[in-house]
């Protein structure tokens, strides 16, 4: 458990959130008096998983990149 002051918490709030999401217990204090504990909400997204949708697309049509007829008037 780490205790940080209010000023430090304001300055590094994004980093403290990431640390709390990673499982670290963060306490915010005024002087030496602990005030609040920063903890993740149950079910909060903690980290994006790269490649999560890999192999979901099985087929891409050969004309995938061809212009659509409906948009010909915009392409002049």
51 assigned to some structural domain: no
Q: What is the DSSP letter of 66?
A: S
Hey, what long-range contacts does 43-51 have (CB within 8 A, 24 or more apart)?
A: 46/21, 46/22, 47/21, 47/22
Structurally, the chain folds into a number of domains equal to 1
30 assigned to some structural domain: yes
Which domain covers residue 7, as residue numbers?
1-42
38 assigned to some structural domain: yes
25 assigned to some structural domain: yes
Q: What is the pLDDT of residues 28-68, one digit of tens each?
A: 999 999 999 998 888 776 667 788 788 888 888 999 898 88
24 assigned to some structural domain: yes
Q: What pLDDT does 29 receive?
A: 96
């Amino acid at each position: 458990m780490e205790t940080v002051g209010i000023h430090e918490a304001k300055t590094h709030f994004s980093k403290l959130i990431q640390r709390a999401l990673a499982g670290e217990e963060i306490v915010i204090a005024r002087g030496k008096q602990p005030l609040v504990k920063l903890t993740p909400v149950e079910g909060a997204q903690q980290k994006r998983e790269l490649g999560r949708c890999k192999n979901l697309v099985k087929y891409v049509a050969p004309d995938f990149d061809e212009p659509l007829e409906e948009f010909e008037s915009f392409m002049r």
